[in-house]
Amino acid sequence: MVTRSTIMDTNSFRAEHAAALDAETRKLTDKRSQVLGESYRLFYRNPVHLVKGQGQYLWDAAGHKYLDVYNNVASIGHCHPAVIEAVNEQMKMLNTHTRYLHENILNYTEELLKTTPSEIDRAMYMCTGSEANDLAIRIAREYSGGTGIIVSQEAYHGTSELTSGCSPALGSGQALAATTRLVPAPDAYRIAADDLGDWFAAQIQQQIDDMNANGIKFAGFLADSIFSSDGVMPNPVGFLKKAVDVVHANGGIFIADEVQPGFARTGDSFWGFGRHGVVPDIITTGKPMGNGIPVSGLLAKSDVLAAFSDNIPYFNTFGGNPVSMAAAQAVLKVIHDEDLQAHSKYVGAKLQAELSKLMDIHECVGDVRGAGLFIGFELVKDRDSKSPDKALALNLIEELRNTHRVLTSVAGPYGNVLKLRPPLAFQEHDIDWLVSALNQSIRKLKD
């Protein structure tokens, strides 16, 4: 049986590509296959050997400069000097775990909680988004007394046993948990619904009813509020609220996975869920909060968290360590000081407007949608049927990489949506590089 993975295998190097590589790249890929586990994947048929990063730019071993339009982990920009300085200064003093007192974790938490709804008043820290979502699922189960978790059809929430069981994007080689149920993505481009909020809420209720019919008690709904792995589904603003109301009416909790849409990326609000006027019961975050330093967090309503924390001790050896907290503090300060939320909204709107003009030039550009610096660029075989064009999307990202040195990747169930998600250092003057590259690449591939 051939396994399917939408996030690992869609845009990846495979053995059949090796013969086309230059000698140095072939040497590195061969060495990887000799010493690393075979589960790893490389981007691109011709993998990129990166050696340097600064802001929104990357350089390869040959000195070529690239525009990074994919990497949200370096959220405020590669090698940001504020993060480097904060980490370096703290490393010279101390790095240890949270069973000793330290100011960094307390000072950071006070500042971070100021960005959340007032109902969210407690924090816990880990090292990865997977760990944060894993703990969130455990808390949901303790609070509700149930086990059933609902996620979207192409969701990705992590690689632990619990989170991989709720991550259909990992593919058919990774079995979903028996207590996991899937809802179709809220795809405003393809779904003809008078009210997408009503439609999506009905999908949630349907899966809760299915759980009840199968003796599974509902625990919660876990969602990335921009549905990035599903192909970037940001609109209409507010559609998520009715679904969250259904979750609460059925005794479950809403876990907002903010690893990708959080920390000012969507422009409209600091957190992605803020665009929908909802208050999650739990918020989870990941490495973008530390600009790539291994740190993640879980923010929660105290009564929800108490169902777990009043009874079960939790210890993550280096979750919330002073060095990671110093990095996170630096990121939060840069977001505030440089007003990156407003920047993301302004530059993202400019970028989306320029990308939308490509729809007038190329019939294969079916839809351009997004919020702030998080944009989905969908390719179709024809606009009437909206038939996805995966082959074009995959060839396009290779052409962007090889000819124009623009780095991005694909998302969605059909692998036909370019996920344009640059570091927040992306500037208005970078728009022409990206849009021109897309225009020229599509023209070349379609001629």
Predicted confidence (pLDDT) per residue in 323-377, tens digit: 999 999 999 999 999 999 999 999 999 999 999 999 999 999 999 999 999 999 9
What is the arithmetic mean of pLDDT over 279-298? 97
Position 234 confidence tier, pLDDT thresholds 50, 70, 90: very high
Does 19 have pLDDT greater than 90?
Answer: no
Q: Which residue has the tokens 């869920």?
A: 273
State pLDDT tens for residues 207-219: 999 999 999 999 9
pLDDT at 17: 79
Does 109 have pLDDT greater than 90?
Answer: yes
Does 32 have pLDDT greater than 90?
Answer: no
DSSP 365-405: EEEEEESSS-EEEEEBS-TTTT-B-HHHHHHHHHHHHHHS-
Which residue would you say has higher pLDDT here, 187 or 38? 187
Report d(CA 378, CA 367) in Å as an integer: 5
What is the arithmetic mean of pLDDT over 72-90? 97
Percent of all residues in the chain with a pLDDT value above 90, rounded to a whole number? 87
Cβ atoms of 45 and 17 within 8 Å: the answer is yes
Q: Which residue has the tokens 């320029």?
A: 354
Q: Is 6 helix (H, G, I), strand (E, B) or coil?
A: coil
Report d(CA 214, CA 78) in Å as an integer: 48
Percent of all residues in the chain with a pLDDT value above 70, rounded to a whole number? 98
3-state helix, strand, coil in the chain (%, to 5): 40, 15, 45
pTM above 0.75, yes or no: yes
Phi then psi for 166, rounded to 5 degrees?
-120, 25
In 3D space, the residue among 245, 153, 148 whose CA is nearest the CA of residue 191 turns out to be 153
pLDDT at 8: 60
**Identity of the residue numbered 95:** N
Position 42 confidence tier, pLDDT thresholds 50, 70, 90: confident
Q: What is the 3-state secondary structure (H, E, C) of 411-426?
A: ECCCCCEEEECCCCCC
Taken in order 287, 289, 295, 297, is the CA torsion positive or negative?
negative
In 3D space, the residue among 309, 238, 226 whose CA is nearest the CA of residue 263 turns out to be 226
CB-based contacts of 374, cutoff 8 Å, min separation 6: 226, 228, 232, 234, 260, 261, 265, 266, 348, 420, 421
Which residue would you say has higher pLDDT here, 36 or 5? 36
CB-based contacts of 348, cutoff 8 Å, min separation 6: 267, 370, 371, 372, 373, 374, 375
Cβ atoms of 127 and 296 within 8 Å: the answer is yes
pLDDT at 1: 30
Does 173 have pLDDT greater than 90?
Answer: no
DSSP 161-208: HHHHTT-GGG-TTSPPPTTEEEE----TTT---S-HHHHHHHHHHHHH
50 CB neighbour count, 10 Å cutoff: 15
Position 279 confidence tier, pLDDT thresholds 50, 70, 90: very high
Q: Write down the mean pLDDT value for the chain.
A: 94
Q: Is 60 helix (H, G, I), strand (E, B) or coil?
A: strand
Report d(CA 151, CA 185) in Å as an integer: 9
